[in-house]
Amino acid sequence: MKTIGVFDSGLGGLSVLRALLLEMPEARYVYLADGAYTPYGGRSAAQVTERAHRITQCLRQDSAVDALVVACNTATAMAIESLRQEHPDWPIVGVEPALKPAAALSRSGHIGVLATRGTVESERFARLRTRVESESSRPLHFTTQACEGLVDAIEHGDEATTRALCARYLDALRASAKTSAPMDTLVLGCTHYPFAADILQTLSGPAVRLVETGAPVARRTRAVLGLPEANTVVCGTPHITLLSTGDPTPLAQASARWLGTTVGAIHVDF
C-alpha cells in the first residue's frame, strides 16, 4: 500500500485530500498543515521555500511517504522547482490554478482567477498564463484578483467574513476586467477556496462555472505512482494521519466536517 504525503499552509489542502481519497481510497495519507506559519500568501518566496523544504524532509524521513503532493498553489508557485531539484528521485506533484481546464470550459473566453497574492505575483503563474494564452486558438482574457484575508477567514471558519471578502473580491474582479465579454468561468486558484465554493457560486450566479484542481491533481498523483484506476468503492475508515505545526484541533474539526473523518490531529514542532 502506498503512503502519500500531502501538505498545505493550513486546512485548504484538505480539498485536495478529498479528491485523492476519491481517486485512491485505499492509499494511506499523511496530511500536514503548517498551522504555525499560515497563511503563506503574504510571505516571501524565501520563507515559503524554507518551510516547504523542512516539511518535505520530515514527511520523507519520518513518515516514509512514497510521494508528495504540495496541496498549496502558493508553495507550488514558490518552491516546487527547488523541491524537485533536492529530491530528483522522488515523485512530487504540485497544484496550480486550473487555467487550461478553464479555457476549455469557457464559452466567452473571459476567465476570472482568484488566488493568493503570492500566487498571482509569481513568475510561475505568469508563465502558465502566457503558455495557456499562446496555446489557445482564440483570444482569452484572464482577470486575476489576489484575495487578502480570505485564507484566514476560511481557516477560522468565519462565515460572515468569508462571505464579505468573497463579495468584495468578485466585485473587484468585475471592476478590473478589460473586456466586455461576460466572465463565465471562475478559477479557484487557492486550495482553501473550494471550501467557500457555495458562497462564491451564489454570489457569481448560475451562469458562472467554478473550476478547482483537486481531481486532476489526484489523477496525476495516481499516474506518477503507477497505481491502477480504482474500480471498487472502499467502505470503512480511510487511512489518514493528520499533523499540524499549529493548533491541531481545527484541523481535526475541519477534516471531520469536510471529509467525514473521525481521526484526531497531532501537533508536530519544527
Catalytic residues: 72, 190
Q: Which is nearer to ligand DGL, 109 or 259 (CB)?
A: 259
When binding is defined by CB under 6 A, the residue of 73, 106, 144, 185 that contacts ligand DGL is 73
Give yes or no for a cis peptide into 91 (omega within 30° of 0): no
- Rounded to a whole number of angstroms, the minimum distance from the CB of residue 254 to ligand DGL is 12
When binding is defined by CB under 6 A, the residue of 116, 143, 144, 244 that contacts ligand DGL is 116
- Choose one: 4-12, 23-31, 128-136, 174-182; the region binding ligand DGL (CB under 6 A): 4-12
DSSP code string of 41-64: TTS-HHHHHHHHHHHHHHHHHHS-
Which residues, listed in sequence order, are joined to residue 185 by a DSSP beta bridge?
A: 111, 209
When binding is defined by CB under 6 A, the residue of 165, 190, 196, 265 that contacts ligand DGL is 190
Please answer whether residues 147 and 221 qualify as being in contact, where contact means their C-beta atoms are separated by less than 8 angstroms: no
When binding is defined by CB under 6 A, the residue of 56, 191, 221, 255 that contacts ligand DGL is 191
Distance separating alpha carbons of residues 27 and 234, to the nearest angstrom:
11
Q: Which is nearer to ligand DGL, 39 or 91 (CB)?
A: 39
Does 60 sit near ligand DGL (CB under 6 A)?
no
Q: Which is nearer to ligand DGL, 230 or 258 (CB)?
A: 258
- Of 100, 265, 87, 75, which is closest to residue 185 (Cα–Cα)? 100
C-alpha cell read off for 182: 461576460
Footprint of ligand DGL on residues 128-157 (CB under 6 A)? 151
Half-sphere exposure of 245 toward its Cβ, with a 13 Å CA cutoff? Answer: 20
User: Which residue type, as a one-letter code, is found at position 254?
Assistant: A
Residues near ligand DGL (CB under 6 A): 8-10, 12, 38-41, 72-74, 116, 119, 151, 190-192
